[in-house]
Amino acid sequence: MAETRNESLAAWLDQHQMSVGELADEVNKAIGGFTGRDGTTSERTVFRWLSGENRWPQERQRRGLEIVTGLPVMALGFVPRGKAKQLVPAPSEDPDVRRRKFFGAAAGTAAAAVIPLASPSSARPSRVGTSDVIRLRDDVERLVALDAERGGHGLEQAAVDGAAEALRLQKQSTTQRVRQRLFALASDFTATAAWSLIDAGQLDGAGRHLDRALTLAGLAQDSEMAMQVWNLRAMLARQRREYPEAVAASQAAQATAAARRSSLHASLAHARTAVGFAHQGDARAALGCLGRAEDALAKADLAQPRSTWITFYGPAELYSLTAIVRDVVGHPAEAESASHRALAALPESYRRNRAHTTARLALAQLHQGDVEQACETSGEVFTIMKGTPLPGRMRQLLGDFQRDLIAQAPSAHIAHEWMDRYRTEWSSS
């Protein structure tokens, strides 16, 4: 019977940037955790798993794989020998390997809380390795998922705690590669803390987090994290209406190695620059950057694995940024079209982005003089975000809508009706 390559295990290794040797080491450490003696899994063993030559590892190795990956071995592409063989149940989580869970706390603030790791067992010294990197990366992914669902506001403390944990583990690491990965994760968490404040409209502390995140990215020698920081720096500057700095930060993002080697990253950097130029009043430069963003995205392979922080970017986000640029430079009809295309392409899980794009759509309609339709569209924002407090950044956008509504139709009954209808909902969100 021909061997079948284990694509599931290969994909997991690729997603977590783990080498064959590192997986073998982590499985051996996991085996040591429940037997008291490290396993003997070798690189050759892992290669046999990947090639399909060995489709059902030994019991200890199966259990070790489940501890390291957090997945049942059958989800990793392994197949039991014979029909009578059943998958060995995954062991209950040991305190030494328990993943930290992030969750939203309702009580009005929807602040994210963290369940801390249990103290390491005194029976065996704690060893820091790739499995710790994976656990922390999973925590970053949970924060990103929460951000997509309800906005980044309220996630700052969870992100700061994650950065502190990464730096604590970095001090215990025995290899340079793991240390650099932990520095990169600390940068990622710290940038997420900055984003939480930006999304909440609390701009004063965001710059401090970004300065720290850029330092950590340098220690990690990670241009991907450096680009994330410059991208957020551009967003922060735009929120502060410091448009020359927004353009400069976006151009710094373009200059990173990550943007030079990846069309996806280059597209985002060009699009962010376009937004800065638009607000600065340079329509020609803004539209030129927008064209370069479109060209770069057309070259990008969107199926390739990517870092968690940039999972939001693709056609939908580029349409959203296009809507902003077009509206700011005085092309509201094109902005409306781009907003509709963004909403059609947005994944359902991106609730906050959907609400934000809907607010931009309402502005584009208002700027074309379609006051009644604009008011109806803006009301959808509250429906989309029902049950979740509006992020400060979204409140500011709705404030822009109200200001422009009053300027366009100061005596119109519909404008007063909009303000009466949503004043309470807006203030209580």
Q: Which CATH number belongs to the domain containing residue 28 in this structure?
A: 1.10.260
Q: The domain containing residue 408 runs over which residues?
A: 322-429
Q: CB burial class (10 A; 0-12, 13-18, 19+) of residue 318?
A: buried
Residue at 122 is within a domain: no
Q: What pLDDT score does 82 carry?
A: 65
pTM of the model: 0.76
Query: Do 181 and 255 fall within a single domain?
Result: no
**Total domain count, the chain:** 4
Return the pLDDT at 426. Answer: 61
**One domain for residues 282 and 384:** no
Task: Determine the pLDDT at residue 149.
Answer: 79
Task: Let me know whether 56 and 142 are in one domain.
Answer: no
d(CA 385, CA 252): 34
Say yes or no: 382 and 350 in one domain. yes
116 occurs within a structural domain: no
Cα–Cα distance list, 352 to 25, 188, 317 (Å): 40, 21, 12
Say whether both 12 and 61 belong to one domain. yes
Q: What is the DSSP letter of 284?
A: H
Residues 71 and 144 in one domain: no
pLDDT of residue 381: 93
Query: Is 194 among the domain residues?
Result: yes
Task: Check whether residue 256 and residue 299 sit in a common domain.
Answer: yes
Judge whether 118 lies within some domain.
Answer: no
Q: Is residue 42 part of a domain?
A: yes
Domain identity same for 297 and 350: no
Do 344 and 416 reside in the same domain of the chain? yes
The helices-and-strands tally (H runs, E runs) of the chain is 19, 2
Q: Are residues 326 and 411 in the same domain?
A: yes
What does the pLDDT look like over 209-254, one tens digit per residue?
999 999 999 999 999 999 999 999 999 999 999 999 999 999 999 9
What is the pLDDT at residue 126?
A: 57
Q: Which of 265, 310, 305, 311 is nearest to 15 (CA)?
A: 305
Does any domain span residue 117? no
Question: For residues 376 and 73, what is the distance between their CA atoms, to the nearest angstrom?
Answer: 51
pLDDT at 2 (0 to 100): 57
> Which regions of the chain are under pLDDT 70?
1-3, 82-126, 424-429
Is 178 domain-assigned?
A: yes
Q: Tell me the residue type at 6.
A: N
Whether residues 199 and 248 share a domain: the answer is: no
In contact, 29 and 61? CB cutoff 8 Å: no
pLDDT at 424: 66
In-domain check, residue 227: no
